Amino acid sequence: MSSTPVPPDFPQICAAFPLTGPVTAAEPYGSGHINETYLVRTAAADGRRYIFQKVNHRIFRNVPALMENVQRVTTHVAAKVRAAAGEAAARRALTLVPTRDGRAWLQDAVGGYWRVYDFITGAHAVDRVTDAEQAREAARAFGTFQAQLADLPGGRLHETIPNFHHTRSRFENLRRAVTEDAAGRAAEVRAEIDFAFAHETDADRLLTLQARGEISERVTHNDTKINNVMLDDVTGRTVAVIDLDTIMPGLPLYDFGEMVRTSASSTFEDDPNPANMRIQLPYFRALVEGYLGSPVGQVLNAVERAHLGFAGQLMTYENGIRFLTDYLQGDVYYRIRHPRHNLERCRTQFALVASIETARDEMAAIVQEVFARR
Q: Which helix (H) or strand (E) holds 116?
A: strand 113-118
Name the residue whose CB lies closest to ligand GN1.
33
- Interface with ligand ADP includes 69 (CB under 6 A)? no
Write the interaction track for ligand ADP spanning residues 104-133; mark x where CB under 6 A is met and - where it is not: -------------x-xx----x--------
Q: Judged by CB under 6 A, does residue 316 bind ligand GN1?
A: no
Rounded distance between C-alpha atoms, residue 158 and residue 175, angstroms: 28
Binding flag, residue 34, ligand GN1 (CB under 6 A): yes
Residue 94 binds to ligand ADP (criterion: CB under 6 A): yes
Among 36, 192, 243, 289, binds ligand GN1 (CB under 6 A): 243
Which residue in 32, 250, 312, 320 binds ligand GN1 (CB under 6 A)? 32
Smallest gap from residue 371 Cβ to ligand GN1 (A): 27
Q: Which of the choices ligand GN1, Mg ion, ligand ADP, none does residue 269 contact, using the CB cut-off of 5 to 8 A by kind?
A: ligand GN1
In angstroms, what CA-CA distances link 340 with 265, 288, 319, 336, 348? 21, 34, 16, 8, 12
SS (H, E, C) 209-272: HHHCCCCCCEEECCCCCHHHEEEECCCCCEEEECCCCCCEEECHHHHHHHHHHHHCECCCCCCC
Which distant-in-sequence residues (6+ apart) come within 8 Å of 4 by Cβ?
A: 28, 36, 335
Among residues 195, 146, 118, 168, the alpha carbon closest in space to that of 357 is found at 195
The stretch among 18-26, 27-35, 92-100, 355-363 that binds ligand GN1 (CB under 6 A) is: 27-35
Q: Is 246 among the residues that bind ligand GN1 (CB under 6 A)?
A: yes
- What's the closest the beta carbon of residue 91 comes to ligand ADP, in angstroms? 8
Q: Strands 238-241 and 229-232: what pairing?
A: antiparallel
State the residues that interact with Mg ion by CB under 5 A. 32, 228, 243
Nearest of 292, 271, 281, 294 to residue 359 by alpha carbon: 281
Question: For residues 50 and 16, what is the distance between their CA atoms, to the nearest angstrom?
Answer: 13
Task: Choose which of 10, 17, 19, 32 interacts with ligand ADP (CB under 6 A).
Answer: 32
**Among candidates 156, 144, 166, 145, which has minimal Cα distance to 68?**
156
In the complex, the smallest distance separating the C-beta of residue 12 from ligand ADP, rounded to whole angstroms, is 22
Q: Which residues bind ligand ADP (CB under 6 A)?
A: 29-30, 32, 34-35, 37, 51, 94, 117, 119-120, 125, 227-228, 242-243, 245
